[in-house]
Structure formats: structure tokens, C-alpha cells
């Protein structure tokens, strides 16, 4: 057995990070990976992470969200907005029975700007007159002459009820209707992964923050990261945003520049500045931005954050600044997730399993997080024989000839990728293991994993000895001297082991294919518990949980140690 200690991992992590921050060409291309992407109108486009993010940002710059009476207002709204420019697409969503919205995407930014210039404020003294692309569509003024009538040129809404999340019951029915474990996993993925409307709304939510700050910071970027963009997002997932106040990185040109901006100095203690900045941004969001409610400033965390809810898009947000590797981590996960069509469905199945058996919990605490679970799945896919993903030390950063594709990984170029059944291809190709087989292999792999002595380390194919005695040690691939699962307690690791073994045994003894008797649970349904939403404390068979076991959200990043 080859064992490595942490030193060499750190070197690889640094190279990887430098790689991610190289702006001349995309990270994905440099390591020789193509990252196939979502499809629009049935057309497959190959997009790198950065192209995809840029695309979504541009879409957001051309879009407005309009609160309407119902989806039936679409025709009227279309006719009204068309007066200002060509409409590219319209998407309806609903946050509850009463609140309907239509996202209108224009073809050109200029059209949206003209439209915003024509908008008015309610004539009330107590409103804060902020201008953001979040609007109302009020009923027609009797004085206003209708410009166009007829509905002949009204486009069909691209989505209706675009943010609807399938209920547990819907999911159960879908799983019941599948024919095999693999089909269940693919169906679960298709039904629950973040869709087009979900992504648009997340980028528009981030855009609102940019608009609010672009006076003093014209180059500001509010960049989504985490599951909203890394390809592992579920419908309804939170939105993590990192602020970059000035993104003009062409420092070389500054040497010849004779006119220099006057500027205030920030506190020599970077952390204090960052806290102050987040506090101010929190105040600004709370006081000025329509839709923003429930602002909480969590300034003592390693990465100070502001949490809030955007009521007009229905999204929970975590906003931070100076979160150095946030976007690079998303890019890395996006690339690995794009590498093989089975990766994302498998991650969804493992996360669903972990939720069903009570290993994860929406409340932050000493349990394993979704992010850690993703890294565990990716590590398993690197370690299995033959590997489906390469260890990151197998990448040659300098030679594009040596890339991930040569390492027995099926390039994710299946014609099915991106279609309504995205991900359902392994099963049709009998040369490769189905995602169902990978699911059972995952359970077996971690059932016998030496959690006591080994770390989970994506940077190397050799086994890594834990550098310290955290119950679970998952090396952060971009900052390899950090453990991303530092928060996990030993009782949770014990529970993880038990659940892995129980589940492996259950799957082995239960049917993995559909039976005619619908009352007999099979495949993923074996783990599905009606009460899986009850709190962890209620159903954990570990010793009763004391209040001390919980850590607050602001400790999450603090807990990571060097
Ligand atoms: P969900 O929100 O559960 O859908 O998944 P997520 O991946 O977005 O997780 P979360 O919102 O908790 O975190 C957002 C991102 O922050 C993750 O994708 C990681 O890139 C990063 N992150 C989360 N937890 C940690 C951690 O403990 N250490 C480090 N370095 N990064 C973390
Ligand atoms: Mg998140």
C-alpha cells in the first residue's frame, strides 16, 4: 500500500489553485477537459464553467422579474414589454398560490435599460425609491391607450411553474415507476436537479446586489458559487454569493497609468475590514433592496457572511467577501461532475440516501455536510478499479496532452447528456457499470474504509494518513492543509459506518429491480422513510444529543483549522 503524508498534497493543491486562478484560458481547457453543458432548445453546447457563468451573468443583465396576477398575464406583459425591445424568452414561476412572477429576458441589454427608464415608483411617501430589475405589472391605466391588441405574436412561456419542487410523495411515485436502481437514480436526478429557471433566478438575485454596489464599485461582481453553479444543485438549494469589489485584474497596464483613483485606506487588519464591509452591505441589503428580508450578519466566522432571504425569487442567500477559493472550488467540482454522465446522478442518490437515513441535516452541526458528501463520492470514483475519475495528481498541468480523458474516464459526451433524461446513458451502454452498481459499490467502499487512520484526499491516488485525529478527515483540494469535515463528530462517523453497512446489506437482500407488488420497497425506496424530515435528534440512535453538540452556522468556517 502506498501511503503519503500531507506535504506533497499541499504542493499539488497549490498548483491546482494557481491553475484555477490563471485567467488566460479556462481551467477546464488547461487540464484538457471539455465540460459539456445543459442544452437549450435541444441543442447540445459544450461550455466550460467560466463560459457558463458568463452566459448566465449576461442573461441576468438582460432580464427583469415582474410580479403578475397569474400566468395568464403573460400575453399582456409580452405585448407591453415588446414595445421596448425584442424579447428572447419568458419564464413563469410561483412562490405561493397568490404570488406569480414572470422572468422576461430581452435580447439586448439596451432594451432592458430603456424599459427600466420607463418604470415608475408607487406614488407613496414611505417607499425607498430603489431601481432594480424587480417590478410589478399593474393593471392597465384607463388613460393609457393600448398600443397593441391581439395575441397572435405572444410566445409560449418557456416554463410555467418553473420553480415547483417535487414533493416526497411525487418522488416516491417516480421511484416506484422506475424499472431498476439505475433508473431510479437517474429519475431522481432528472426530477430534482436545479433547472434553467432556478439558475436564472439565482443569477438575477446576485445581479441585484451588484446593481446596489455598482455606484462606488463599477466593476463589482457578485458571483454565485457552491451548488447553485457546481452542477450538484437541487431545486430549492441555497445561493452562495461571493463579492469581488474590483475585478479589473489587468494590473500590468497600471504601470503606465498616470491618473490614479483617490481612495480610502482599508484597515491594516484585513479581517476587520472584511467584517465592516459585510456589515455595511448587510445594512444596505436590508434597508434598500426590494424582496430582501431576514438579514443576519454573521461576522465572527472565519469568512464573515450575511444571510438573507430574497422573497421575490424565493431563495435563501449567503453572501460573503474575500472567500478566496470559493469560485475555484465550484469550478473544480463542475469539471469533475461533467466528466462522466454518472457522477451527478450518483451524487444526488448518495445525498438523498444520506438524508433519508438521517446522516445529513439542514441545521448546521456536527454532522456531515452535502459538500463533504460530494467530495466522498468523487474520491470513491477515483479509487474504484478501474477509476472513473482520475486523482488530481495524475493531471499534468503543463502538458495538455496528459489530460483526464486518457485515464479510462468516459468523456461525458453522450448524446443524452442535457436532454430531459440527462445522465441516463450508462445503463444503455453495457461496457460500463451502471450508476446503480456504482451506488452499491460506494456503500461497500466506505463500509470498509479505514476512517481511523486515513484521510479522504482527491489530490493523490495513494492513501493519505490523517495528519491529526479528527474523526473524519477530508482534505480540501484547494487548501490541502485544511480539513473540510472538521465539524463532524465521532458519533456521526460511527453512525455513518453503521448506516453504510446496514444499507449495503439491505440493498443486497432487498430487490434492486421493480416488482409487481408496489407495496414492497425496492432500490432507493428501501431507504425512503416517510419521516426523514424529522430532526436528527429525534431519530438518531446515537446517544441523545445535548445542546452542546450543535454549533452555530458562524462556527462552520471557524472550525476548519490549519
Ligand atoms: P448545498 O447548499 O447543501 O446545496 O451545497 P453547497 O455545496 O452549496 O454547500 P454550502 O452552501 O454549505 O457551501 C457552499 C460552498 O462553500 C461549497 O460548495 C464549498 O465550495 C464551500 N464550502 C462549504 N463548506 C466548506 C468547508 O467546510 N470548507 C471549505 N473550504 N469550503 C466549504
Ligand atoms: Mg449552498
- CATH code of the domain covering residue 455: 1.10.1410.10
Strands 463-465 and 3-4: parallel
* Stretch 1-27: mean pLDDT: 56
- Does residue 185 lie in a domain region? no
Compute φ and ψ for 513, nearest 5 degrees.
-125, 160
Judged against a pLDDT cut of 70, whether residue 206 lies above it is answered with yes
Looking up cell 452555530, which residue turns up?
Answer: 552
- Does residue 5 lie in a domain region? no
Looking up cell 459539456, which residue turns up?
Answer: 36
Closest protein CA for atom 17 of ligand 1: 226
Closest protein CA for atom 10 of ligand 1: 226
Choose the residue to mutate in 364, 371, 373, 558 for probing ligand 1, maximizing ligand atoms within 8 Å of C-beta.
Answer: 371
The helix (H) or strand (E) run that includes residue 222 is strand 221-225
Number of continuous H segments (helices) and E segments (strands) in the chain: 15, 14
- Which among 164, 199, 231 is the end of a domain? 164
* Ligand 1 first shell, C-beta below 6 A: 225-227, 230, 233, 237-238, 240, 326, 329-330, 369-371, 476, 484, 560
- Does residue 314 lie in a domain region? no
Alpha-carbon distance of 463 to 3, in angstroms, equals 5
Cα 349–354–360 angle (5° rounding)? 130
Closest atom of ligand 1 to 487 CA is: 27
Write out pLDDT tens, residues 397-423. 433 333 333 333 333 433 233 333 333
Top pLDDT among 45 and 276 is at: 276
User: From the CB of residue 131, how many other CB atoms can be counted at a distance below 10 Å?
Assistant: 13
Domain carrying residue 377: 340-512+529-555
Given pLDDT bands bounded at 50, 70 and 90, which one contains residue 555? Answer: very low
Looking up cell 391581439, which residue turns up?
Answer: 150
- Does residue 220 lie in a domain region? no
- Which among 132, 164, 196 is the end of a domain? 164
Choose the residue to mutate in 225, 226, 485 for probing ligand 1, maximizing ligand atoms within 8 Å of C-beta.
Answer: 226
In angstroms, what is the span from residue 425 Cα to ligand 2's centroid? Answer: 28
Write out pLDDT tens, residues 238-255. 999 999 998 766 666 677
In angstroms, what is the span from residue 553 Cα to ligand 2's centroid? Answer: 13
- Does residue 433 lie in a domain region? yes
In angstroms, what is the span from residue 232 Cα to ligand 2's centroid? Answer: 10
- Which among 164, 186, 212 is the end of a domain? 164
Closest protein CA for atom 22 of ligand 1: 371
Query: Which pTM does this prediction carry?
Result: 0.83
Mean pLDDT across the chain: 80
Ligand nearest to the CA of 560: 1
Ligand nearest to the CA of 370: 1
Closest protein CA for atom 24 of ligand 1: 371
E strand segments, 42-132: 43-46, 63-68, 87-94, 100-106
Q: What is the CATH number of the domain that holds 93?
A: 3.30.70.330
> Any idea which of 36-50, 289-303, 371-385 has the lowest mean pLDDT?
36-50
Closest atom of ligand 1 to 485 CA is: 27
- Does residue 93 lie in a domain region? yes
Judged against a pLDDT cut of 80, whether residue 155 lies above it is answered with no
- Does residue 507 lie in a domain region? yes
Choose the residue to mutate in 17, 231, 234, 240 for probing ligand 1, maximizing ligand atoms within 8 Å of C-beta.
Answer: 240
Provide the domain count of the chain. Answer: 2
Closest protein CA for atom 15 of ligand 1: 226
In angstroms, what is the span from residue 152 Cα to ligand 1's centroid? Answer: 47
In angstroms, what is the span from residue 281 Cα to ligand 2's centroid? Answer: 20
The secondary structure of 160-190 as a DSSP string is SSTT----HHHHHHHHHH-SBHHHHHHHHHH
- Does residue 115 lie in a domain region? yes
Q: What percent of the chain is modeled with pLDDT above 70? A: 74
Amino acid at each position: 500500500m502506498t501511503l503519503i503524508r500531507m506535504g506533497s498534497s499541499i504542493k499539488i493543491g497549490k498548483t491546482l489553485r494557481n491553475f484555477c486562478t490563471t485567467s488566460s484560458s479556462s481551467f477546464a481547457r488547461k487540464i484538457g477537459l471539455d465540460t459539456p453543458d445543459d442544452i437549450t432548445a435541444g441543442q447540445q453546447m459544450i461550455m466550460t464553467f467560466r463560459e457558463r457563468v458568463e452566459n448566465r451573468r449576461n442573461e441576468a443583465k438582460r432580464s427583469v422579474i415582474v410580479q403578475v396576477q397569474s400566468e395568464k398575464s403573460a400575453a399582456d406583459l409580452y405585448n407591453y414589454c415588446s414595445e421596448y425591445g425584442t424579447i428572447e424568452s419568458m419564464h413563469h414561476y410561483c412562490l405561493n398560490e397568490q404570488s406569480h412572477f414572470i422572468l422576461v429576458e430581452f435580447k439586448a441589454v439596451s432594451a432592458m435599460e430603456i424599459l427600466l427608464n420607463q418604470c415608475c415608483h408607487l406614488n407613496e411617501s414611505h417607499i425607498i425609491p430603489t431601481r432594480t430589475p424587480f417590478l410589478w405589472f399593474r393593471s392597465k391605466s384607463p388613460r393609457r391607450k393600448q398600443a397593441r391588441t391581439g395575441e397572435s405574436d405572444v410566445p409560449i412561456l418557456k416554463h410555467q411553474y418553473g420553480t415547483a419542487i417535487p414533493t416526497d410523495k411525487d418522488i416516491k411515485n417516480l421511484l416506484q415507476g422506475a424499472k431498476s436502481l439505475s433508473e431510479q437514480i437517474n429519475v431522481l436526478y432528472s426530477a430534482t436537479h436545479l433547472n434553467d429557471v432556478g439558475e436564472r433566478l439565482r443569477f438575477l438575485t446576485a445581479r441585484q446586489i451588484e446593481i446596489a454596489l455598482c455606484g462606488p464599485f463599477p466593476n463589482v461582481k457578485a458571483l454565485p458559487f457552491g451548488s447553485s453553479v457546481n452542477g450538484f444543485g437541487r431545486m430549492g438549494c441555497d445561493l452562495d454569493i461571493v463579492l469581488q469589489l474590483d475585478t479589473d485584474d489587468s494590473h500590468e497596464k497600471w504601470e503606465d497609468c498616470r491618473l490614479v483613483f483617490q481612495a480610502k485606506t482599508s484597515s491594516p487588519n484585513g479581517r476587520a475590514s472584511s467584517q465592516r464591509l459585510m456589515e455595511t452591505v448587510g445594512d444596505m441589503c436590508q434597508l434598500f433592496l426590494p424582496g430582501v428580508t431576514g438579514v443576519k450578519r454573521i461576522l465572527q466566522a472565519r469568512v464573515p457572511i450575511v444571510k438573507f432571504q430574497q422573497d421575490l425569487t424565493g431563495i435563501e442567500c449567503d453572501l460573503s467577501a474575500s472567500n478566496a477559493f470559493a469560485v475555484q472550488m465550484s469550478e473544480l467540482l463542475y469539471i469533475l461532475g461533467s466528466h462522466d454522465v454518472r457522477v451527478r446522478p450518483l451524487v444526488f442518490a448518495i445525498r438523498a440516501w444520506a438524508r433519508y437515513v438521517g446522516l445529513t441535516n439542514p441545521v448546521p452541526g456536527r454532522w456531515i455536510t452535502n459538500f463533504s458528501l460530494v467530495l466522498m463520492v468523487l474520491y470513491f470514483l477515483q479509487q474504484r478499479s478501474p477509476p472513473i475519475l482520475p486523482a488530481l495528481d495524475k493531471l499534468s498541468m503543463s502538458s495538455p496532452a496528459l489530460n483526464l480523458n486518457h485515464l479510462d474516464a468516459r468523456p461525458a459526451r453522450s448524446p443524452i447528456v442535457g436532454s430531459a433524461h440527462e445522465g441516463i446513458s450508462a445503463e444503455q451502454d453495457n461496457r460500463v457499470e451502471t450508476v446503480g452498481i456504482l451506488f452499491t459499490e460506494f456503500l461497500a467502499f466506505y463500509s470498509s474504509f479505514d476512517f481511523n487512520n486515513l484521510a479522504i484526499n482527491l489530490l493523490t491516488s495513494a492513501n493519505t494518513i490523517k495528519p491529526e485525529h479528527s474523526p473524519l478527515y477530508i482534505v480540501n483540494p484547494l487548501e490541502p492543509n485544511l480539513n473540510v469535515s472538521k465539524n463532524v463528530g465521532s458519533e456521526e462517523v460511527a453512525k455513518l459506518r453503521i448506516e453504510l453497512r446496514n444499507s449495503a446489506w439491505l440493498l443486497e437482500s432487498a430487490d434492486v429491480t421493480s416488482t409487481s407488488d408496489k407495496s414492497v420497497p425496492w432500490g432507493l425506496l428501501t431507504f425512503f422513510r416517510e419521516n426523514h424530515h424529522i430532526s436528527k435528534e429525534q431519530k438518531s440512535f446515537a446517544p441523545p444529543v445535548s445542546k452542546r453538540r450543535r454549533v452555530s452556522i458562524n462556527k462552520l468556517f471557524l472550525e476548519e483549522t490549519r
